[in-house]
Amino acid sequence: MATDTYSRILDSAQSLIVTRGYNAFSYADIAAEVGVGKATIHHHFPGKADLAVAVIARYRQATADGMGAMAAQVTQADMRLAAYVGFWEQCIRDNNAPFCIAALLAAELPSLPPEVAEQVKAHFDELIDRLTVFIDEGLQSGALKSPDNAEKSARLLVASVHGAMLAARVAGGDADLFSSITQAALQRLTG
């Protein structure tokens, strides 16, 4: 199913969206980067929205897989949250994907094609759900504590992480700044 060209187009689109957003990348950019004609991209993804949807859909699947694998290895709730935050810290440090695509697209949401916006919303819901489960378990086992319920705590944590990404980007990709902010956010839950 997934040709080499097909996934290389997805890779290129993903990295372009991460750095520039939806509105500031073009088929020409991808064509040049992948080394194919523009028409080839249209062959695999009829329209720009289809391409973006495919990118986020793959991203959601990767997130699901990664979170699942992590949860299988790490059993304690506080360590799970630390792993989630640490994953992004490493991404920023390596500068390979220094921003959550969904968070970036969320900013542009009002100017996004509806199908793309749908995917962004879906990712947010899934992310909150997953972290809510982790935090809920942690609150019950005593590994975590919070004056709020699990869902509210999850929403605040996600907001802090996304805001920290913005701060790190403004500071020129400062992974230490990201870490400093997110560690403070985690401390609220680990006590």
Partner DNA sequence: CCGTCTCTACCGACTAGTTGGTCGGGAGTC
Partner DNA sequence: GACTCCCGACCAACTAGTCGGTAGAGACGG
Residues forming contacts to DNA in the complex (CB under 7 A) are: 3-6, 25-29, 35-40, 42-44, 46-49
26 binds, among DNA, a second copy, none (CB under 5 to 8 A by kind): DNA
27 binds, among DNA, a second copy, none (CB under 5 to 8 A by kind): DNA
What burial letters (b/e) apply to 119-141, b meaning 16+ CB within 10 Å?
Answer: bbeebbeebeebbbbbbbbbbee
Nearer to DNA, 29 or 137 (CB): 29
The answer to whether residue 24 forms part of the interface with a second copy (CB under 8 A) is yes
Handedness of CA 71, 68, 163, 129 (dihedral sign): negative
155 binds, among a second copy, DNA, none (CB under 5 to 8 A by kind): a second copy
Query: Closest approach of Cβ 73 to a second copy, in Å?
Result: 27
Which helix (H) or strand (E) segment holds residue 5: the answer is helix 4-20
What's the CA gap between 169 and 47, in Å, rounded? Answer: 30
Handedness of CA 148, 150, 154, 155 (dihedral sign): negative
Cα torsion for 59, 60, 62, 65, to the nearest 10°? 180
Stretch that binds a second copy, among 52-60, 67-75, 130-138, 180-188 (CB under 8 A): 180-188
Query: Closest approach of Cβ 33 to DNA, in Å?
Result: 12
The answer to whether residue 135 forms part of the interface with a second copy (CB under 8 A) is no
Nearer to DNA, 28 or 184 (CB): 28
The answer to whether residue 121 forms part of the interface with a second copy (CB under 8 A) is yes
First to last CA, the chain: 48
77 neighbors 143 (Cβ within 8 angstroms): yes
The answer to whether residue 57 forms part of the interface with a second copy (CB under 8 A) is no
Q: Which of 74, 107, 126, 174 binds a second copy (CB under 8 A)?
A: 107
Nearer to DNA, 10 or 85 (CB): 10
Query: Closest approach of Cβ 17 to DNA, in Å?
Result: 11
The answer to whether residue 86 forms part of the interface with a second copy (CB under 8 A) is no
User: Residue 142 — φ and ψ, nearest 5°?
Assistant: 90, 0
Give Cα 13 to chain centroid, integer Å.
15
